[in-house]
């Protein structure tokens, strides 16, 4: 099977673990309404008023959907919820620049796929909650490299590119009868995989107005 250069697919089920303790001596904001669920920060030396032009914008991100809750912050990660097409997702973002860091993968086949990612490559985002489907496309901002937290894993930084509407469901892929050897069909729970060149062409034909 010939694989497309610069294309991969990853499963987008991201879970944020937060403590349920009522008192947490932690400078982060690891749960709803902060460390002690009081919506009061324990930091000191904060400004009492905003500048006339507002606070400086460090970074911004779009495409996460509608959200009505506060973020959770732990270490170098920000977790935020978004709702798109009646489906709720949790996004894990890099605190410094808003990019998504994809980590926690240890399956050798999936790790190999992450290691092969290069900056500028495209990634199909596959949602495994509810109706399993390819829901969007991301760009690799920083290529695959060893995970400093685990010798068995690899990481890559991703930047959201676009939503695919309507999504392409796993049922659609199987129903085409064209991709019986594709890992998405044979191993649909594999978190990250290389994408066949024929599949990329098929997806582009499904979304002729989208440039990916």
By C-alpha distance, which of 122, 211, 128, 204 is closest to 169?
Answer: 128
pLDDT of amino acid 112: 93
- pTM of the predicted model, to two decimals? 0.65
Is residue 45 domain-resident? no
Strands (E), 27-132: 72-74, 77-84, 87-94, 100-102, 122-127
The number of domains in the chain is 1
Strand partners, 138: 123, 160
Domain holding 182: CATH number? 3.10.590.10
Is residue 52 domain-resident? no
pLDDT of amino acid 202: 97
Q: Which residues of the chain, if any, have pLDDT below 70?
A: 1-6, 8-27, 87-88, 101-102, 129
pLDDT of amino acid 69: 75
pLDDT of amino acid 13: 36
pLDDT of amino acid 37: 79
pLDDT of amino acid 153: 93
Is residue 163 domain-resident? yes
Is 7 exposed, middle or buried (CB count within 10 Å of its CB: 0-12, 13-18, 19+)? buried
pLDDT of amino acid 152: 92
Is residue 50 domain-resident? no
Is residue 26 domain-resident? yes
Q: Which domain holds residue 130?
A: 3-40+63-206
Is residue 148 domain-resident? yes
pLDDT of amino acid 20: 30
């Amino acid at each position: 099977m010939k694989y497309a250069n610069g294309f991969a697919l990853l499963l987008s089920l991201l879970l944020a673990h937060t403590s349920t303790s009522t008192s947490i001596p932690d400078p982060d904001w690891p749960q709803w309404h902060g460390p002690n669920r009081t919506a009061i920060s324990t930091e000191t030396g904060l400004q009492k008023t905003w500048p006339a032009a507002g606070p400086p914008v460090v970074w911004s991100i779009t495409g996460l959907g509608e959200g009505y809750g506060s973020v959770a912050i732990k270490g170098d990660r920000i977790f935020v919820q978004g709702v798109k097409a009646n489906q709720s997702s949790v996004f894990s973002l890099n605190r410094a620049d808003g990019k998504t860091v994809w980590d926690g993968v240890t399956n050798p086949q999936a790790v190999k796929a992450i290691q092969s990612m290069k900056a500028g490559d495209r990634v199909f985002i596959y949602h495994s909650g509810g109706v399993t489907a390819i829901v969007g496309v991301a760009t690799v901002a920083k290529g695959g490299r060893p995970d400093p937290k685990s010798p068995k894993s690899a990481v890559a930084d991703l930047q959201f590119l676009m939503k695919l509407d309507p999504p392409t469901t796993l049922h659609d892929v199987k129903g085409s009868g064209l991709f019986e050897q594709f890992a998405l069909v044979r191993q649909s729970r594999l978190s990250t995989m290389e994408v066949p060149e024929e599949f990329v062409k098929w997806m582009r034909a499904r979304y002729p107005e989208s440039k990916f």
